[in-house]
Amino acid sequence: MSFTKAPETDKAWAHVMKETICIGGASGYWGDASLATPQLLATEKLDYLVYDYLAEVTMSIMARARSANDAMGYATDFIAAVLKPNLPEIARQGVKVIANAGGVNPRACAAAARALIEEQGLDLKVAVVMGDDLIDRVQEFAAAGASEMFCGDSFPDPDKVASINAYLGAFPIARALQEGADIVITGRCVDSAVTLGACIYAFGWERDDFDKLAQASLAGHLLECGTQVTGGNYTDWESVIDSLPEAGYPLAEINAAGDMVIAKPAGSGGAVTVGTVAEQMLYEIGDPQAYLLPDVACDFSEVSLQQQGDDRVLVTGAKGHGAPQGYKVSATYADGFRAGQIWTMYGRDADLKGQQFAEAVLRRCRMSLERSGLGDFSETSIEVVGAESHFGAARQVGSVREVDVKIAAKHPSPKGVGTLLKEMVGMALAAPPGLAGFAGARPKPSPVVRLFSMIVPKDSVDITIELGDESMRCDDSVASPFQPVAAHEVPLAPKSDDTVAVSLESLAWGRSGDKGNKANIGIIARHSEFVPYIAAQLTEGRVAEYFEHFLDTGQAQPVQCFYMPGSNAFNFLLHDILGGGGVASLRTDAQGKGYAQLLLTESIQVPRALAEQFNLNTL
């Protein structure tokens, strides 16, 4: 499809293209702060507001809401907290709004938005992008023997599947804008598509403008987590902590070539630095030379980040290498129930007492399950948080006097996990001394939701845009298939006989996150001079050894490392490490959010002269 002369409409661009547009990222997840929209509107410089609400678990929650009420199944906050109080100002400024708030019921979300517009007497058009919801094809996928794209598992029992959604791209969003929409609501699309769609429309980009598509996709990736690019979750948190309550939501100023500046509203809290932007760029990615999106295969390895003044970072250099021929499709399905509780144990040998208490709880539970004929737990988890033993997140660092003890389990039935919740309370009177817990209601069993991902051909997914009484086909096509590119060579470290040990954190920033059952850890050197020493010592093997208590080290390559010379960064991808990930996991950190901060405590040997040059504290 060409946007200069679209075959569906034979209609040329009807708007005046600008040299630069400003996009505000106003939501990083369903539940983000409502202050984002008015804060960004107050800048009076916006062309677009974009909102990302969806995650895999969110889709299953919305699916359950829709099954209970066919008028639900979308991000209700988008209507009540975003549009209702801010629509008049959005209309006054002529800002276009793009949101994947539709969840599993985008038509209902759009109907609520139109009712609100009518109630407020405004003249705004709402378009809906349809086609991502494939739940009606559940039997087809099961019969075809679809396999999980990462681990090869068979397709789940169709009766347990809650949602099936394709991750759509940005061109349907751009088409909706071209047809005159002021507000575009989608179901499941890739997070960055809400930003890329605005750029395609604004600059008239074509499907084979791969470098530009990659740059704008990176812009979307930087915006999609809100304040995580403006100081939230930042390694150097001490430098921003005082102003984080007033943290600014991000702005992306993007030109027709795809180059961008990441900024934030003047006077807002937080910070926009090379460090904050680099950390967000590496957040939740795998191979940075093959970051696959529906519209483009992105290569972020040579991206350059340059400070352009206070709270302004110039981002250039993303490349695009064709586009995938299929859509990633994710299904969520029920797989039993889980429950758990956190206790505090303190005093002498708190870690040992906590471990013994947890093991005793599980022994009593198993006796109760056997008497009831319910069968054993399908999985259990004990984490002594604070002891840093092999039951916690990192390695033992010494005896401690206070720990949190988390005990959790999965069972096919809610009665099974209910047994855990009941028996652990009963065991409190038979525990070692020093057990405490915050008073309150007993936790309840919750459903385990697992993720199943696969690839389906693009031509098997029908995409439509609904605008008023019109419904328009807008199916995707592949301009040029993705071709993998060669990895970059890492520079060698000069030999030195006079070295000192410094913490990795003194040499680098770090950010970690999850993708299903995988975790990634991005390590970004603070100066290019540090790169060879990090590369030589922070190897795949060393990272695998550090996290061996969680990793399946029987794999051929449990950890992969990717070098990104443009930003002096390394991305470590850790496979099958999160115990299923999301709400399928029993882990305290089921999404690997703290893994980077753990790894940054490791030591690296550097030449003494280099440590003195950069005033590094030695260990």
The CATH code of the domain that includes 358 is: 3.30.300
Round to whole Å and give the CA distance between 214 and 293. Answer: 9
Average pLDDT over the chain reads: 92
* One domain, residues 219 and 238: yes
* One domain, residues 71 and 202: yes
Round to whole Å and give the CA distance between 407 and 393. Answer: 14
Residue type, 347: G
Using one digit for the tens of pLDDT, what is the confidence trace for 462-500? 999 999 999 999 988 776 888 889 999 999 988 899 999
* Least confident span in 108-122, 196-210, 392-406: 392-406
195 φ/ψ angles, rounded to the nearest 5 degrees: -80, -45
* One domain, residues 303 and 344: no
In which residue are the tokens 């298939």 written? Answer: 481
In which residue are the tokens 């979750």 written? Answer: 233
Which stretches within 410-539 are classed as H helix?
Answer: 414-426, 504-507, 531-537
pLDDT of residue 321: 96
Higher pLDDT, 471 or 556: 471
- Does the structure show a pLDDT above 70 at 2? no
Q: How confident is the model at residue 381 (pLDDT cuts 50, 70, 90)?
A: very high
**Listed residues 294, 323, 352: the one ending a domain:** 323
Round to whole Å and give the CA distance between 253 and 24. Answer: 9
pLDDT, average across residues 51-62:
87
**Listed residues 275, 292, 323: the one ending a domain:** 323
Q: Which domain holds residue 606?
A: 499-613
* One domain, residues 439 and 549: no
- In total, how many domains does the chain have? 3
pLDDT, average across residues 150-155:
92
Cβ atoms of residues 133 and 165 within 8 Å: yes
Query: Is there a domain that residue 530 lies in?
Result: yes
pLDDT, average across residues 526-553:
94
Q: How confident is the model at residue 304 (pLDDT cuts 50, 70, 90)?
A: very high
Q: How far, CA to CA in Å, does 177 sit from each of 1, 40, 172, 185, 271?
A: 15, 21, 9, 11, 32
Query: Is there a domain that residue 309 lies in?
Result: yes
* One domain, residues 513 and 548: yes
pLDDT, average across residues 416-425:
94
pLDDT, average across residues 444-448:
92
pLDDT of residue 5: 32
**Listed residues 273, 296, 323: the one ending a domain:** 323
* One domain, residues 227 and 337: no
Round to whole Å and give the CA distance between 31 and 226. Answer: 12
pLDDT, average across residues 275-298:
97
171 token code pair: 């061109």
3 state DSSP class of 478:
coil
pLDDT of residue 549: 86
pLDDT, average across residues 160-175:
96
* One domain, residues 201 and 231: yes
Q: How confident is the model at residue 257 (pLDDT cuts 50, 70, 90)?
A: very high
Round to whole Å and give the CA distance between 506 and 278. Answer: 16
175 token code pair: 């088409």
- Does the structure show a pLDDT above 50 at 97? yes
* Least confident span in 24-38, 240-254, 257-271: 24-38
pLDDT, average across residues 431-454:
90
- Does the structure show a pLDDT above 50 at 188? yes
Cβ atoms of residues 19 and 256 within 8 Å: yes
* One domain, residues 237 and 343: no
In which residue are the tokens 């050197």 written? Answer: 525
Q: What is the DSSP string of 484-511?
A: --PPPPPPPPPP-SSEEEEEHHHHEEEE
Q: How confident is the model at residue 554 (pLDDT cuts 50, 70, 90)?
A: confident
- Does the structure show a pLDDT above 50 at 394? no
pLDDT of residue 8: 41
pLDDT of residue 22: 98
Residue type, 502: V
pLDDT of residue 483: 86
pLDDT, average across residues 41-64:
92
* One domain, residues 342 and 317: no
Round to whole Å and give the CA distance between 313 and 301. Answer: 17
Query: Is there a domain that residue 126 lies in?
Result: yes
- Does the structure show a pLDDT above 50 at 171? yes
Q: Which of 2, 25, 26 is nearest to 13 (CA)?
A: 2
pLDDT of residue 82: 97
pLDDT of residue 452: 94
CB atoms within 10 A of CB 79: 18
pLDDT, average across residues 330-336:
93
* One domain, residues 98 and 228: yes
Q: How confident is the model at residue 388 (pLDDT cuts 50, 70, 90)?
A: low
pLDDT, average across residues 356-373:
96
Query: Is there a domain that residue 556 lies in?
Result: yes
Query: Is there a domain that residue 10 lies in?
Result: no
* One domain, residues 414 and 438: yes
- Does the structure show a pLDDT above 60 at 7? no
Using one digit for the tens of pLDDT, what is the confidence trace for 559-595? 999 999 999 999 999 999 999 888 889 998 989 999 9
Using one digit for the tens of pLDDT, what is the confidence trace for 591-605? 999 999 999 999 999
Query: Is there a domain that residue 45 lies in?
Result: yes
Query: Is there a domain that residue 144 lies in?
Result: no
319 φ/ψ angles, rounded to the nearest 5 degrees: -120, 155
pLDDT of residue 12: 42
pLDDT of residue 160: 94
80 Cβ neighbours under 8 A, 6+ residues apart: none
3 state DSSP class of 318:
coil
pLDDT of residue 399: 67
Query: Is there a domain that residue 147 lies in?
Result: no
pLDDT of residue 514: 92
* One domain, residues 86 and 207: yes
